[in-house]
Amino acid sequence: MAYYIFCEIAWMKKYRGVTENDKPKNGGKYIKENGYGGEVYNFLTYNHKCYGYVMHYGEMHIERFDKNLKNSPKVRDVTVIFVASDGLESKIVGWYENAAMFRDWQQIYIAGDCYDYNFIADEKNCYLIEENMRTFRVPRATTAGKERGMGRSQVWYAESAYAQNEFIPKVRKYLDSMKAYCTPFYLLKEKMSVKAKDKGQTADELIRASYYEKDFLKSLSYLNLAVAKDDCFETRKERAYHLMINFYLDEAEEDYKAALQFEDSLQAMAELMNVEYCLHNTTSAIGLGERIRRRKSGFDNWSDCAYLLAILYFENKEYNKAESLMYECESEEDSEKHNNWIPEMRKSVKEARKKA
């Protein structure tokens, strides 16, 4: 059974981060005071998925869809409809289909920052309506009547008989009609495999050319051609890094693993470790961290790897291993490199033990 939920967010053009030409407006107090909020990334693809945010207090009440879901931590097959005000009235700005909705806040780490979300959907099931085509008005309960529109909360479960039998069918018809006009905001995989025109450059020259190209696809096309010309450690690692920093983690993982078949590089392992962590492949990430740990002498980025390995041990509730790693780091000659994370990690382990 498909469920529908309406979420009121700030108004933006693209919801792929705040830029000079795309700043959130008509949002809540936090948006007004800070100039940004969690929803500014609602249509940013991260490893081929979108992570949806809406401001709310407490938990998301999944049981309002179905009483049998009272103890469920999440529910699937949700259509998440994002609503925002253009300054005059609230309108549908985009939606997710076949999304998962979580009762409690979830977190994702992007480029070193932590973001909260309650919804996740495959990028191909996410639709953003162009700003000048947003015409479907969502009424306010204060004027339309109780349970006939958005209330004071930013979340409307649309559970009333009116919503289910009259309003949602109209919304569904509108969304179906808009699909043809919603240009995909994500990159199709076939576009990501395109190679640059071969002008006789060497693989090294193509790698250097990719450094100076700001457009992601054009830069990737140089690297695709470089790999085709010389499939080796350097070309695979360069493409993997380019994919990783642009959040194409599945593809980056594949290239890092291929690169490590050519050369047993600690730096490549460290980067793959980070990718595996972001993909929630805990066992693989720990395994890579432990390999680096055994060969850490002289590795400049060991401190970052040690910190991530400690986090992985902690999240895996392997507190003894986390503590052993911290003692080891403190005994190293360059132990000051670890001082920025060990005290906080030790405190976290101590608190976790008390709760266990």
**How do strand 155-156 and strand 3-8 relate by DSSP bridges?**
antiparallel
CA distances in angstroms from 42 to 89, 94, 166, 202, 248, listed in the order given: 21, 10, 28, 40, 17
Which value, to the nearest 10 degrees, does the dihedral of the CA atoms of residues 326, 328, 333, 339 take?
A: 0
How many angstroms separate the CA atoms of 215 and 191, rounded? 13
Q: Which two tokens stand for residue 236?
A: 């695979």
Q: Which two tokens stand for residue 41?
A: 């990334």
Q: Is 16 exposed, middle or buried (0-12, 13-18, 19+ CB in 10 A)?
A: middle
pLDDT recorded at residue 10 = 96
Average pLDDT over residues 97-108: 95
Gyration radius of the chain's alpha carbons: 24
Q: DSSP label at 19? A: B
Asked whether the predicted pLDDT for residue 160 surpasses 80, the reply is yes
Q: C-alpha 2: how far from its chain's center? A: 24
pLDDT recorded at residue 1 = 62
Tens digits of residue pLDDT in 28-80: 888 888 888 889 999 999 999 999 999 998 899 999 999 999 989 999 999 99
How many angstroms separate the CA atoms of 117 and 157, rounded? 17
Average pLDDT over residues 161-185: 94
Tens digits of residue pLDDT in 113-131: 788 999 999 999 999 999 9
Tens digits of residue pLDDT in 261-271: 999 999 999 99
Tens digits of residue pLDDT in 211-250: 999 999 999 999 999 999 999 999 999 999 999 999 999 9
CA distances in angstroms from 4 to 38, 160, 176, 205, 346, listed in the order given: 21, 12, 14, 52, 44
pLDDT recorded at residue 36 = 83
Given a contact cutoff of 8 angstroms between Cβ atoms, the answer to whether 319 and 300 are in contact is no
Tens digits of residue pLDDT in 329-354: 999 988 898 988 999 999 999 999 99
pLDDT recorded at residue 191 = 87
Given a contact cutoff of 8 angstroms between Cβ atoms, the answer to whether 272 and 249 are in contact is no
Q: Is the dihedral of CA 152, 157, 159, 163 positive or negative?
A: positive
**C-alpha angle with apex 163: 160 to 168, nearest 5 degrees?**
145
Q: Which residues have CB under 8 Å from 300's CB, separation 6+?
A: none
How many angstroms separate the CA atoms of 225 and 203, rounded? 8
Average pLDDT, the chain: 93
pTM of the model: 0.83
Q: Which domains does the chain have, with CATH numbers?
A: 3-181 (no CATH), 264-355 (1.25.40)
